[in-house]
């Protein structure tokens, strides 16, 4: 593993968006999401010293505890695509969201980065392995490169994927190449749809490069970004789940969050970005929408794009005094700034995250943050 990437492994364990303690991860963990909080509802996670108010978008593990006061209620969307209307009382989440083989899931594996040997990406969908930047790849440098935005370090469902990249100042034309099918085209736009010919093979990884007519190249960002087409069986599983979600009586925001979690669980990060960006355009006021978008950008190696949704998520989480989400976002910002070469800003955000985790009573994350901050200081 890259030494630089290894430095952030402890931090990655706290960037789970949904607040799962790292120790609870096995091969597959279900994602159960809170919707429609009415009245006094609290959540107690194993790593917290006390219960905290439930919030829309917070995701629960099966062992988390819910307490619903008299005349209060909460809706939980379970990992098996069922909805649990929780009445007053005390519960463990598994009382209403059964364990088993979750459809909406987080995967845990030892793959920190993508390799050309992967046929189906089943890597951890948490931001555990953001693409490490070459030295000097600051935001100013990246802004001048036609770096690939989507589909980037992701699985895809279609044989005709839309490709989108960063607009380069001063460039008027771009040459796009997909290695593996010997396909090349030119355009004066910053997005294009692959025509489907030559056909893409399921399970095969394809690398994308973009060259601007002013000499700027996506290779300066990363030479190995690309995508893989899901195999037919897995594709059917995902599409069946998507259809089931779309047929349920969910608000656009609820359906979007469910689909984003679903896509991330199968390494479909490009699809997750598309759904979350749609919710952002609709001016969502749910912190988790922006946090999940920031997490996904960070996961696919775009820390420069993660910052803006993280900033919005933090404002929303602060307004609602949501400490758990605040801590995760602060840590995410710390990683983003570090990957962009801003050590001082990174330490500042990681220190804030440590303080917030301390308020939560999450001593294990406080200790991991201490180690990571010290490692940064020692290395530079």
Distance CA 173, CA 185 (A): 11
Sort strands 41-44 and 52-53 into parallel, antiparallel or unpaired. antiparallel
Note the pLDDT of residue 107.
61
Half-sphere exposure of 39 (CA within 13 A, CB side): 13
d(CA 275, CA 280): 9
* DSSP code per residue over 244-292: HHHTS---HHHHHHHHHHHHHHTT-HHHHHHHHHHHHHTT---HHHHHH
Q: How much is the pLDDT for 151?
A: 97
Tokens coding 217: 């190249």
Instruction: Tell me the whole-structure pTM to 2 decimals.
Output: 0.88
Answer positive or negative: Cα dihedral of 166, 168, 174, 179. Answer: negative
Structure tokens at 362: 């999450």
Query: pLDDT tens, position by position, for the chain (380 residues)?
Result: 334 444 444 444 434 444 444 433 344 689 999 999 999 999 999 999 999 999 999 999 999 999 999 999 999 999 999 999 999 999 999 999 999 889 999 865 323 322 223 333 333 333 334 444 444 478 999 999 999 999 999 999 999 999 999 999 999 999 999 998 989 999 999 999 999 999 999 999 999 999 999 999 999 988 889 999 999 999 999 999 999 999 999 999 999 999 999 999 999 999 999 999 999 999 999 999 999 999 999 999 999 999 999 999 999 999 988 999 999 999 999 999 999 999 999 999 999 999 999 999 999 999 999 998 998 888 76
Nearest CA to 31 out of 190, 294, 266, 200 is that of: 266
| pLDDT of 16 | 44
From residue 303, how far is each of 5, 306, 333, 360 by CA, in Å? 14, 5, 9, 26
Q: What are phi and psi of 304, to 5 degrees?
A: -65, -30
Q: What angle do CA 296, 297, 299 make, to 5 degrees?
A: 60
> CA 305, CA 310: separation in Å to the nearest integer?
9
Alpha carbons within 13 angstroms on the beta-carbon side of residue 139 total 10
Tokens 């990681």 locate to: 350
What does DSSP assign to residue 139? H
Based on its alpha-carbon atoms, the radius of gyration of the chain, rounded to whole angstroms, reads: 21
| CA distances (Å), origin 310, targets 195, 257, 288, 301, 349 | 34, 16, 10, 15, 12
Q: Are the C-beta atoms of 308 and 324 separated by less than 8 Å? A: no
Closest alpha carbon to 304 in 319, 294, 289 = 294
Q: Which residues contact 313 (CB under 8 A, 6 or more apart)?
A: 287, 288, 289, 290, 291, 294, 325, 329
User: Which segments of the chain does DSSP mark as H helices, in order?
Assistant: 3-7, 9-12, 139-142, 232-246, 252-265, 269-281, 287-299, 303-319, 323-339, 343-360, 363-379
């Amino acid at each position: 593993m890259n030494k630089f990437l290894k430095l952030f492994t402890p931090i990655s364990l706290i960037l789970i968006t949904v607040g799962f303690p790292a120790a609870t991860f096995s091969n597959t963990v279900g994602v159960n999401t809170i919707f429609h909080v009415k009245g006094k509802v609290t959540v107690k996670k194993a790593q917290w010293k006390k219960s905290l108010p439930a919030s829309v978008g917070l995701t629960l593990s099966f062992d988390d505890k819910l307490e619903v006061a008299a005349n209060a209620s909460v809706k939980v969307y379970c990992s098996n695509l069922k909805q649990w209307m929780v009445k007053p009382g005390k519960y463990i989440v598994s009382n209403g969201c059964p364990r088993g083989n979750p459809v909406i899931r987080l995967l845990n594996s030892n793959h920190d980065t993508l390799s050309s040997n992967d046929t189906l990406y089943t890597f951890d969908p948490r931001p555990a392995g953001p693409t490490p930047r070459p030295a000097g790849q600051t935001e100013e440098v990246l802004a001048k490169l036609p770096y690939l935005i989507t589909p980037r370090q992701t699985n895809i469902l279609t044989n005709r994927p839309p490709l989108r990249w960063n607009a380069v100042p001063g460039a008027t034309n771009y040459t796009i190449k997909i290695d593996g099918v010997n396909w090349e085209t030119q355009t004066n736009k910053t997005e294009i749809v692959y025509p489907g010919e030559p056909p893409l093979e399921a399970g095969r990884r394809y690398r994308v490069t973009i060259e601007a007519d002013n000499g700027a190249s996506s290779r300066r960002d990363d030479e190995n970004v690309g995508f893989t087409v899901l195999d037919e069986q897995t594709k059917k599983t995902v599409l069946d789940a998507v259809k089931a979600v779309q047929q349920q009586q969910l608000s656009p925001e609820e359906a979007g969050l469910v689909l984003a979690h679903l896509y991330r669980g199968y390494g479909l990060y490009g699809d997750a970005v598309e759904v979350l960006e749609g919710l952002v355009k609709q001016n969502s006021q749910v912190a988790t929408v922006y946090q999940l978008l920031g997490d996904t950008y960070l996961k696919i190696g775009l820390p420069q794009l993660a910052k803006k949704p993280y900033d919005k998520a933090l404002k929303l989480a602060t307004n609602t005094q949501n400490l758990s989400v605040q801590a995760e976002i602060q840590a995410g910002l710390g990683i983003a700034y570090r990957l962009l070469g801003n050590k001082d800003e990174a330490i500042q955000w990681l220190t804030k995250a440590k303080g917030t985790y301390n308020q939560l009573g999450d001593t294990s994350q406080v200790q991991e943050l201490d180690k990571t901050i010290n490692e940064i200081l020692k290395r530079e």
